[in-house]
Amino acid sequence: MLLTVPRVLKPDEIALARSWLEGVHFVDGKASAGSAARRVKRNQEAERGAGGLERLDDMVMGSLARHPAYRGGALPLHAATPLYIRYRAGMDYGDHLDDPIMGAGGVLYRSDVAVTLFLSAPEEYDGGELVIHSASGEQTVKLPAGDAVLYPAGTIHRVSPVTRGERLVAVTWVQSVVRDAARRELLYGLNLAREKLLANAPDAEETAQVNAAYSNLIRMWSDL
């Protein structure tokens, strides 16, 4: 499931994020890539340890965690510290898969869901589309600043070459309570129906039935 999460960051938060990143040193993005992805990765990443990144992490991850579409679509258990990635003219990231296991220092997690949060407006750069392979063909994503996209981390994807301007994004990965992407998609749709029923007919018998079905499927399919 490819899921757009609108308005994760408000305009003032986007401006604040970009101002914090202006003073950060960016390094070659190959340093964080696996051996296969390193061959096709041509971008830059904000150097960890730079001043201000921790408060930016808190703002980005806090805003995601409060967004109902993110919670319902990702069903997050663990989330990685974001990477802040910059593409300038001539940079791209060829077809690749994300590493299945990520983490460091003995803290490991499974990458079930990939999240890209756009920090640059689409009119600020040409190219730079996120292209995700799917059973129905390639899906192209280029969202307004402040919006995010969620998609299964096990899908092949790429970032098209940037030909003008600068593409700035935050990227993170999630280990979901529910490992299987198809099951997460079913649960997301069921939860949308459940929330409407709870809002419009909280005392109806069908509301209780749908709520029980959702809760028990989470119980049945979770890895906890």
Do 86 and 73 fall within a single domain? yes
The single residue listed with the structure tokens 């709520």 is 211
CB atoms within 10 A of CB 22: 8
Do 168 and 205 fall within a single domain? no
Do 64 and 123 fall within a single domain? yes
Do 66 and 126 fall within a single domain? yes
User: Mind listing the pLDDT tens digit for each residue in 125-135?
Assistant: 999 999 999 88
Token pair in block for residue 51: 């001043």
Q: Are 152 and 113 in contact (CB under 8 A)?
A: yes
Say how far apart CA 142 and CA 128 lie, in whole Å.
8
Do 116 and 36 fall within a single domain? yes
Q: How many domains does the chain have?
A: 2
Do 73 and 172 fall within a single domain? yes
> Is the alpha carbon torsion for 43, 44, 48, 52 positive or negative?
negative
Say how far apart CA 131 and CA 171 lie, in whole Å.
15
Element (H, E) at 199: helix 181-200
Do 115 and 207 fall within a single domain? no
Do 147 and 215 fall within a single domain? no
Do 15 and 54 fall within a single domain? yes
Do 77 and 164 fall within a single domain? yes
Which residue, among 173, 167, 143, has the nearest Cα to 61 in the 3D structure?
A: 173
Q: What is the DSSP string of 35-88?
A: HHHHTTEE-EEEPTT-TTHHHHHHHHHHHHHH-HHHHHHH-EEEEPPPEEEEEE
User: Mind listing the pLDDT tens digit for each residue in 178-205?
Assistant: 999 999 999 999 999 999 999 999 999 9
Domain assignment of residue 94, given as a range: 3-176
Q: State phi, psi for 66 to the nearest 5 degrees.
A: -85, -10
pLDDT of the chain along its 224 residues, tens only? 999 999 999 999 999 999 999 989 999 998 877 777 789 999 999 998 766 799 999 999 999 999 999 999 999 999 999 999 999 999 999 999 999 999 877 789 999 999 999 999 999 999 999 999 988 899 999 999 999 999 999 999 999 999 999 999 999 999 999 999 999 999 999 999 999 999 999 999 999 999 999 999 999 999 88
Token pair in block for residue 79: 């989330």
Token pair in block for residue 118: 């756009």
Do 133 and 194 fall within a single domain? no
